[in-house]
Amino acid sequence: AEDGIRDYKVTGVQTCALPIYVVLVEGTSRRSEEQLRGRTDTNKMVVFDRGTLTVGDYARVRITSATSATLIGEPLEVASVA
């Protein structure tokens, strides 16, 4: 599986080696105003809790699970792209 992401859906989330991505926040998720959505630099969709992030921020997000089309994660911190 590409980047091992599909393995999360098949075998469950492993607590070690959970991937962390820098995500550009694009807007709120379709299902909840309390969650945001964004994309990785490889165009993978990621949904995560809002926290203090706003649209246009870059955030480091740890992936905790996945569906067939979306990664689910938890925000770690605001990231700098410089």
Q: Tokens representing 4?
A: 């091992």
* pLDDT single digits (tens) 60-78: 999 999 999 999 999 999 8
pTM of the predicted model, to two decimals?
0.76
Inter-CA distances, 66 with 6, 12, 14, Å: 7, 9, 12
CA geometry: angle 51, 40, 30, nearest 5 deg: 55
* pLDDT single digits (tens) 3-14: 555 554 444 444
Inter-CA distances, 12 with 35, 72, 80, Å: 22, 13, 31
Rounded to an integer, what distance in angstroms lies between the CA atom of residue 54 and that of residue 65?
Answer: 22
Q: Average pLDDT of the chain? A: 84
